[in-house]
Structures are given as structure tokens and as C-alpha cells.
Amino acid sequence: MTKIVRVNKNNPEIELIDFAAKVIKEGGLVAFPTETVYGIGANSFNEEAIKKIFIAKGRPQDNPLIVHIAELEQIYDLVKEVPQKAKTLMKKFWPGPLTLIFKKSQKVPYVNTAGMDTVAIRMPSNTIAHLLIKRAEVPISAPSANVSGKPSPTDASHVIEDLYGKVDVIIDGGKCDVGVESTVLDLTEKVPVILRPGAVTLEMLREVIGNVEVDPSLLKKPQEDLKPKSPGMKYKHYSPNAEVYIVTGDLEKVVKKIQELTEEQLKYGKKVGIMATVQTSTQYEKGEIIVVGDRNRPETIAKNLFEVLRQFDKKGVDVIFAESFEYDNIGLAIMNRLEKAAGYKEISAEGELP
């Protein structure tokens, strides 16, 4: 049986947190909110508990988990060394949506790291996540609390949809602030590499530590035999049931193209979803139109993206046409998740190439 507990994130009820913390200590699974998305967590030092995460999610075993900590000192149990650049980044961005990759200590089980000698670590800022880790008195390993392949959960209702009956506790702490998963930065290479873009952006990282690269596979279809450094790169991810197409080009042309594509699909008897923005939504007349956010405040688009994908599934659309976004700042994270949801299918609004 899954117990659902509602906790106030502005003033968490400590007895409810302690109830969930005890479940973690005893080797159980707790789904909990973070500022990015909901996580499904277990004691990082308990191999059997970690295995249960993979089973509950249907997650491939070669996809490693992020270890979540509440206090800086906890890192010294988990890693071989903390490079200077990591120290600088931790000071600037922790707690927050930045995951750093280190060489792992012996204490971290290989089931957690998918057999790799590196470990991903993050300190979440969400008060519920922070308190849960603190009261459990162990680091908590947690991937996103969705069934593998589905859009990440940004509200407890999404976790209930995917994992009710498969975890011991679901903490309902309301909607997540950021809405896309943490930035994953690999510090084990000479030049740090972003393996997954998030709300701590390339621009922000470069300002603090200088040279940072983006893994070239982030925005294009990965090769079949890719050995995942960050498995988000390997698997089709974040996918709603409908086929998603990203329509690219100049915004005015994009709107026009989506109108045409919608007409065409409706003629075939398909149910069409349109992922629109505050700036464009009134220009669409047909199809199921959902506004994902405001182009002038791209953080609103990140926050709503996964929820909107789930809403289209509820409406039972066959195909979704999504407007595209700029690749800078948080736009890189938005486009990376959209590309994965679409299986990298794009339609140009700029007309056929000659």
C-alpha cells in the first residue's frame, strides 16, 4: 500500500517528514518533491533499496541515479576527491538544480552508478527534500518519479498516476518550481561538460568557472551503441503517447505552418494538440490548444512543459505540434526535453529546401 502524505513546503510538518524518513531508513521507497521534479528515493548505501527503484520505474539498469545530500559534509563519504572547480560551483549553486559528477568512493554501491566509477551528486533546495534527507540521516538516491520513458512528474498527481502501489510513501508538496530536471555537469574531464541542460545554464556556469562544453549529443539523435555517461542521452524520454513534432523557424511562419498541419491532420480524422505560447495562442482556432508559457519568461515554459505533455495524453490527442524555442539560457533545457519527447522529429516552417 502506498501512503500519500500532504506536506506544506513553506513550513513542513516535521512528524510527517519523520514518518517518511523512517521508511527510507528501513529500506523503503519514498517519492518526494524537489525544486526540479519529483524524485523516487531510497537510502544511497542500501543496495536492495536502490534495486527497488529500478523495478518500480521499469528503469534500465545501465541508467545511474543521482545521490541527494542535505549538508556539504555528506559529500566526503561519497567521493574520492572534490576538485577546486566543484568547490566553487557548490558554493555558488548549492542548494539548487545543479548535479555534479565526481569519482566515487568505495561506499557508493555500483547499482547506484550503473557500474561506473563516477557518482552524480546534488543538494536540492526544496525544503521538504532537504528535511527528508536530513532526518533520514543518509544520502538519498533518486531519479525522477515517473515510469521510465514518461514525462517527469512536476506535481504529486503525476507521481500518483505513475507509481501508486509501487512505492511506500508519496509526499505531496505541491507543484515543482523549476519543472525540468537538474543540470548535469561532468567534472571528471579536463574541460567540464554539460551532460544534461537545466536551470543552471551554460551561460551561468561559464561565468563562474570559465570554459564549459555542451555534450554534442544533447540535441541530436544519439547512436544506438552509445555507452551512457548520462543515460538521458540514450533513451527516448519524456514521451507522451501522441507523436510530437517540433515546428521550427521564424515564429510567424511557425504559427502558419502549424495551422496548415493541423488542418491536414484533422482531415485525416486525427485529434491534434497544439503546444502554443501566450504570444501565439489566440492565432490558433482548431485543435486542442494548450499554452505552455510566456516567451518573455522562458522559465514559465520550463515549469509547465512536462505537465502540458501529460495534459495532451489526458485529452487523447494523436499528434502534437509544438512551437520551437531559442537554444540559449534555459531554452537549451527546454529544447533538449522537447527534442527527446519528439524523438527528434522536426518540421521546418521555412519551406522546402530547393
> Could you tell me which residues are annotated as the binding site for ATP?
59, 63, 118, 144, 152, 196, 238
* Strands (E) located in the chain: 3-6, 30-33, 38-43, 66-68, 98-103, 118-122, 140-141, 169-172, 183-186, 193-196, 213-214, 243-248, 272-277, 288-293, 319-323, 346-348
Residue 176 contact partner, candidates ligand AMP, Mg ion, none, CB within 5 to 8 A by sort of partner: none
Question: CB 20 → ligand AMP: shortest distance, Å?
Answer: 19
Looking at the DSSP bridge assignments, the partners of residue 26 are: none
Distance of closest approach, residue 7 Cβ to Mg ion, in angstroms: 22
Cell readout for 218 is: 544533447
Q: Among ligand AMP, Mg ion, none, what does residue 36 contact (CB within 5–8 Å per kind)? A: none
Give me the phi and psi of 347, to 5 degrees please: -125, 125
Sign (positive/negative) of CA torsion 166, 318, 297, 215?
Answer: positive
- As a whole number of angstroms, the longest Cα–Cα distance in the chain is 67
| Smallest distance from ligand AMP to CB 37, Å | 7
Strand partners, 347: 247
**Interface contacts to ligand AMP, rule CB under 6 A:** 63-66, 101, 113, 116, 118-120, 143-144, 181, 184, 195-196, 229-232
Stretch that binds Mg ion, among 47-55, 136-144, 300-308, 333-341 (CB under 5 A): 136-144
Q: Which does 229 bind (CB under 5 to 8 A by kind): ligand AMP, Mg ion, none?
A: ligand AMP
130 versus 229: smaller Cβ distance to ligand AMP? 229
- Bridge-based pairing state of the strands 183-186 and 98-103: parallel
Minimum distance from residue 106 beta carbon to ligand AMP (Å): 15
Binding-site positions read: 36, 59, 63, 68, 118, 122, 142, 144, 152, 182, 196, 238
Q: Give the residue ranges of the annotated binding site for L-threonine.
A: 36, 68, 122, 142, 182
Q: Are 194 and 212 in contact (CB under 8 A)?
A: yes
Cα distance between residue 100 and residue 93, in whole Å: 11
Q: Tell me how far the alpha carbon of residue 142 is from its chain's centroid.
A: 12
E strand intervals along 133-225:
140-141, 169-172, 183-186, 193-196, 213-214
> Residue 85 half-sphere exposure, CB side, CA atoms within 13 Å?
20
Nearest distance from C-beta of residue 2 to ligand AMP, angstroms: 19
User: Smaller CB distance to ligand AMP: residue 139 or 287?
Assistant: 139
By CB under 5 A, tell whether 144 contacts Mg ion.
yes
Strands 66-68 and 140-141, sheet pairing: antiparallel
Question: Nearer Cβ to ligand AMP, position 44 or 248?
Answer: 44
Closest separation in Å from C-beta 124 to ligand AMP = 12
Contact segment (CB under 5 A) with Mg ion among 76-84, 112-120, 137-145, 304-312 equals 137-145
Binding at 66: pick from Mg ion, ligand AMP, none (beta carbon under 5-8 Å per type): ligand AMP
CB of 115 or CB of 316, closer to ligand AMP: 115
Which partner from the list Mg ion, ligand AMP, none does 171 bind, CB cut-off 5 to 8 Å by kind? none
Helices (H) and strands (E) in the chain, counts: 10, 16
Instruction: Choose the contact partner of 101 out of Mg ion, ligand AMP, none; CB within 5 to 8 A by kind.
Output: ligand AMP
- Which chain residues interact with Mg ion by CB under 5 A? 143-144
